[in-house]
A and B are shown apart, each in its own frame.
Chain A
Amino acid sequence: MSAVLLEVEQLSKSFGGVQAVQNVSFHVKKEEIVAVIGPNGAGKTTLFNMISGIIPPTSGLVRFQGAVVTGKKPHELATLGMTRTFQNLQLFSDMTVVENVMVGFHPRLKSGILSAGFRLPRTVKEENEAREQAFSCLEQVGLVHLAWKRAGTLPYGMQRLVEIARAAVSRPSLILLDEPMAGLNPQESKQLVDVLLAMREQGFTFLFVEHDMETVMSIADRIVVLDYGKKIAEGSPGEIARHPDVIKAYLGEEAARC
């Protein structure tokens, strides 16, 4: 049994009178792939934004590697080893692909404004290291040949891979993926699934929000189901597929449509 990496305890968020997330608890273990699913408006993105420090929770706790991190800023969490991607891509579109990924290596470098400005040997060494790491990460997602292209000019599916490489290059212990399959065609989705599974083999841990049930069922070790801001089920893909509440709330709609 491997160690627990992330614990979410009784996390809640209300916007005005609306309870977007209510008392949600679950955990993620090392080298797991955990999916959060739920119908539109179930509070998945809100939950994600609270875990990654973008918005503060109304109540509840987030524990990461044993320490309470509720209220920490996103950049502090990244330094502790938790990074994320975004549903609507947030690439730095005017920077090249490799520069994008090198930004992801930021927490592993130390050069400040003076060391960088005077180009001290330490900075030169760090820059080389960052570039090497970025290239090896790009190689992993199969984008090395596009390293010097402006990120904004890449097709959507490749931009998503860049975003994942960027989130992974600092070797964080946990990566949050917000709807990684959104907007991808079936071929791109398959490529992304392969990349994620290969990364898991190397010891990466993922927590992701997703709509695409096929992907969720094929790569998640465990699934947490939200509906109207509450957790209604948690279990293996097999258990979730048979769970009556889940079928009613979510899969039911899909099954009826198909």
Chain B
Amino acid sequence: MGMEQYRRMVDRRKQWLLLAGAAVWLGLPWLVFGNNYVLSTLILIGLYALVSTGMTLLMGYAGQISLGQAAFYGIGAYASAYLTAHAGWSPWLALAAGAVLAALVALVVGIPVFRLREHYLALATLGFGVIMFTFFKEWKGITGGLNGFFGIPTIRIGGFSLQSDLHFYYLVSLFVLAGLWFAHNIVRSRVGRALRAIHGSEVAASSLGVNITKYKLQIFMLSAVYASIAGSLYAHYVTFINPDLFGIVPSIYFLIMVVIGGSAHVWGGLIGAAVYVCLGEWLKAVVPLLLPNAGGEFEIVFFGLLLVVMLIYMPNGLTGVVAKGMSKILEMSRHQKKQVAPTENHNARSIGGERG
């Protein structure tokens, strides 16, 4: 068979997947009969997926860690809230301004922080999260402090105001698609290779011409932009925010989503977010039945345990497991085809001539 045929087969499969994906995406709201509870859950998944897709690039591909990602989520949310409610900006302009601000903060924080590695890097980013949380809490003139920020206007497109969950579902999922597309492009480019090279061996990456510091900073900034955009959308969706949403615990939850999803594929962030949100909703329904006196803390205990179990038994997350299974199936089908066609031309040139 040659690679050409194999590629075409994969391409065809991809087209079908794409088509099926589009159908599910468009049809999902009707499938759930416009049920607002389900829609709001889907919106939440989408928002978290944006944050964790950015984090997947940072953690899974570049091998760096951030325990303060909720801070960027918060920067986006407060930038949008303040600029639209108090300064009268358009929500789109405010969203862009939040993203720029988040990227700048990531740059300023990243320069000293990325001199550190591993545990120390984790601690430093945790510290950054604590500091930003304090800012959100205490800078009352802008954030409203612990009382929260009320009356964030809804997003408008032209003269059309996006108020219903259905509208927001489509808006958020468009952002998620764009975010996944962008991340996917990064991964299969020079930049993505550089990131994975840094993850594999910093000294080797550097000796081949990869500027390690530059790429670590850039991908940290990009992950901040993803989080900030999600935060902006969130602010416009719920129209009320308070600092607790952007503290340390949410940062840990983002980390858990990335670990659950894994980084064998850019879809890891979306899968992780979906599993996290669904498990969380399920816990809310089930725990009161089993333990009538359990409080909300049960959730962090459960997800903490899940994090440990995942790291031990499934360090590459769900996408890692799927990718492994897929490659096994592909390998098997290739073996079968070899047996059917033993004269298959496997010499070097026939493969070398292909373009991928």
- The answer on A and B forming one complex is yes
Give A contacts to B, CB under 8 Å: 52, 54, 73-75, 77-79, 83-84, 86, 90-95, 99, 102-104, 106-107, 109, 111-113, 116-119, 123, 126-128, 130-132, 135-136, 138-139, 142, 144-145, 147, 166-167, 170
Distance, CA A117 to CA B178, complexed state (A): 10
- Report the stretch among B11-19, B87-95, B128-136, B345-353 that lies at the interface: B345-353
Chain A at the B interface: SS class? helix
Restricting to B299-356, which residues have a CB under 8 Å from any CB of A? 346-349, 351-352, 355-356
Distance, CA A251 to CA B201, complexed state (A): 35
Determine if A127 and B190 form an interchain contact, defined as CB atoms under 8 angstroms apart: yes
Chain B at the A interface: SS class? helix
Residue of A nearest to B356 (CB): A131
Determine if B356 and A139 form an interchain contact, defined as CB atoms under 8 angstroms apart: no
Contacts of A99 in B (CB 8 A): 193, 196
Known pairs A116-B189, A116-B190, A145-B346; list 7 more (Cβ under 8 Å).
A74-B203, A75-B207, A91-B204, A92-B204, A95-B193, A117-B189, A139-B349
Determine if A54 and B352 form an interchain contact, defined as CB atoms under 8 angstroms apart: no
Give B contacts to A, CB under 8 Å: 182-183, 185-186, 188-194, 196-197, 199-201, 203-212, 218-219, 222, 346-349, 351-352, 355-356
- Which of A111, A142, A147 is in CB contact (< 8 Å) with B189? A111
A-B contact pairs, 12 of them (CB 8 A): A73-B206, A86-B207, A90-B201, A91-B204, A92-B200, A95-B196, A106-B194, A116-B185, A117-B182, A127-B190, A128-B355, A145-B348
Determine if B355 and A131 form an interchain contact, defined as CB atoms under 8 angstroms apart: yes
Determine if B346 and A116 form an interchain contact, defined as CB atoms under 8 angstroms apart: no
A116 and B191 in contact, given A75-B209, A136-B352, A167-B208 (Cβ under 8 angstroms):
yes
Determine if A74 and B351 form an interchain contact, defined as CB atoms under 8 angstroms apart: no
Distance, CA A79 to CA B197, complexed state (A): 16
Determine if A83 and B208 form an interchain contact, defined as CB atoms under 8 angstroms apart: yes
Determine if B193 and A103 form an interchain contact, defined as CB atoms under 8 angstroms apart: yes
CB A195 to nearest CB in B, in angstroms, measures 15
Contacts of A130 in B (CB 8 A): 190
Residue of B nearest to A124 (CB): B189
Contacts of B212 in A (CB 8 A): 75
A112 and B191 in contact, given A144-B348, A147-B351 (Cβ under 8 angstroms):
yes
Distance, CA A78 to CA B210, complexed state (A): 8
CB B71 to nearest CB in A, in angstroms, measures 21
Determine if A103 and B207 form an interchain contact, defined as CB atoms under 8 angstroms apart: no
Chain A CB within 10 Å, residue with most, of B185, B201, B347: B185
Residue of A nearest to B192 (CB): A116
Contacts of B197 in A (CB 8 A): 92, 95, 103
Contacts of B347 in A (CB 8 A): 145
Determine if A52 and B207 form an interchain contact, defined as CB atoms under 8 angstroms apart: yes
- Which of A54, A95, A126, A166 is in CB contact (< 8 Å) with B203? A54
